[in-house]
Each structure stands twice: as C-alpha cells, then as structure tokens.
Amino acid sequence: MKQPFKNINCVISEYLELPKDITMGLPKMTFLGNIQLSIENHKGVIEYTKEKIRINTRIGELVINGNDLKIKSIYIEEIMVEGTIHRVEIEGEGG
C-alpha cells in the first residue's frame, strides 16, 4: 500500500530529526496546570476578552475559554496567557 504524499518540510524534519514545530511552523502549546498557557508560532490575536482569547495559527484558530484571562506577554513568536483556563479548542483551517 502506498503512503500518502508528505509535505516536504515534514520529510526534511523526519530525515534530519528536527522538531516539527520548528520546520513546519506548527503551534506549540505549553500548559502550567489550568492557570497559564504559552503558545509558540502564532500568527496574531483575533479576539481578546476576559472570557475568550482567539489566536490565529497555521492549523486554525486557537480558542481559549476561561475566567479572568489576560495576555501576560506577547512577542513575535510567543504569547503567554494567564487566568483560569477551562477549555482550549482548534477551529477551522489556519492561514
């Protein structure tokens, strides 16, 4: 059985044993319990309220729901969100 066509960045990543978040620009999320979330490789903030933060990524919109949410820091490659995080979802396709 033939394997489906793979993205060239994926093939290079596997061959060179490099992390896919680096070679493919995929978002990398790191949680600290339910009180802090770090998102690397984002493409900007779409919506920002105390109950919901929407962030654009290559694979879709990252929707963070919770209470007293705030963006602690924002840089070109990383966003740090703090508050009480109840749910994180990825919606749609990225752009």
The count of domains in the chain is: 1
Closest alpha carbon to 67 in 86, 48, 45: 86
Average pLDDT over residues 68-91: 97
Q: What are the pLDDT digits (tens) for 11-65?
A: 666 666 666 656 567 899 999 999 999 999 999 999 999 999 999 998 999 999 9
Let me know if residue 2 belongs to a domain. Answer: no
pTM beyond cutoff 0.85: no
Q: Any idea what the CATH number is for the domain that residue 62 is in?
A: 2.60.40.2000
Quote the domain boundaries for residue 49: 26-91
Q: Is the dihedral of CA 50, 47, 43, 88 positive or negative?
A: positive
Let me know if residue 86 belongs to a domain. Answer: yes
Let me know if residue 10 belongs to a domain. Answer: no
What's the chain's Rg over C-alpha atoms? 15
Q: Which residue has the higher pLDDT, 7 or 56?
A: 56
